[in-house]
Amino acid sequence: MSETRGAPVIIDTDPGLDDALALFLAFRSPELDVRGVVTVAGNIGIDHTTRNARALLRVAGREDVPVVRGAARPFAREPFHAPGIHGEDGLGGIDVPEPRAPEHPAAALDWLADEIDSHPAGAVRILALGPLTNVARLIVERPEQARLIGGVVAMGGAVRDRGNVTPHAEFNIAADPEAAAVVLASGVPVTLVPLDVTRQVAADEAWAERLAARGGALAALTRQLHGAYLDNIAALRASLGVAEAERRPHAFPLHDPCVILHAVRPELFHPERLRLRVVRDRSERDGATVIDPAGDAADVLTGADAPAALAFVADRLAG
């Protein structure tokens, strides 16, 4: 009997605590054939995100998957990172094994173009967990291959909800709003996974403890990553003078895992077809994703069956 492979996807990521959980979920999902992991600077600088991706693939037992170093800086502005949330190493100081497999030697755009060309038109989707710099560069510099992408599912934006780096903007879009605008305007089918929906799929401490009790290396590491997120948010809030009783969050929103969840179980989510504009004026609303009748159309996830989503993630990561 011939082996049945999942749908071909490329994961573009900036690991990142929630990126780590998304990668684990992807490699526990036979519905997906992860062709490669392309890194981008975002939560932390490119050296750390690339090292972290290689280390996480070792943990997941998938060092056969190529890790390709991508963009070190945004499309058209200075970079900023989020060490207050993800830690100086991007993984909250959690002890993970040193990576063994080297990163792939190809330049990211060359590798992306070759991988897309090696499949039928529309077959490959890009699952984007960080700033959209690599995807935008592909669209601008390799338009022939960009037209062959089956779609981009991207974690990013705060459409009707509050932002997380400013009251208006979510981190991935704010880190490279010019890239996000390029992707939305490209004609490539885009599914946006904003804070509006990822905050609904929030794993509390009881969820993490139940998962760890089920056993397995990924479950144990997930519990540590979950705790690191809660601790880091509490420390960040303390530094901002938040009262002690309000510092520790109740749950860890599974931002990036929602991208993988949608790729595997789209029926868990409610999409809306909206026209969006990315604010790029360096004002206090810079990086916002706003509904605009003159904007670019995207499928925006705005609702989720959170209990089913959390149960599905736990089942995949346990054992």
Q: Is 296 left (phi over 0), alpha (psi -120 to 50) or beta?
A: beta
Contact 43, 80 (CB under 8 A): no
First to last CA, the chain: 27
Q: Which residues are part of the catalytic machinery? A: 255
Determine the longest span between alpha carbons in the chain, in angstroms. 62
- Give the sign of the dihedral formed by CA 92, CA 178, CA 150, CA 152: positive
Residue 300 forms beta bridges with which residues? 192, 272
- How is 129-163 classified by DSSP, letter by letter? -S-SHHHHHHHHH-HHHHTT--EEEEE---SSS--
Partners of 275 in the beta sheet?
297
- Beta bridge mates, 289: 278
Residues 6+ apart with CB under 8 A from 191: 151, 152, 153, 154, 262, 271, 298, 299, 300, 301
Outline where 39-118 has alpha helix (H): 46-59, 83-86, 108-117
Cα dihedral across residues 295, 296, 299, 300: positive or negative: negative
- The residue written with tokens 């990561």 in the block is 317
Which among 152, 145, 162 is positioned nearest to 185, based on CA atoms?
A: 152
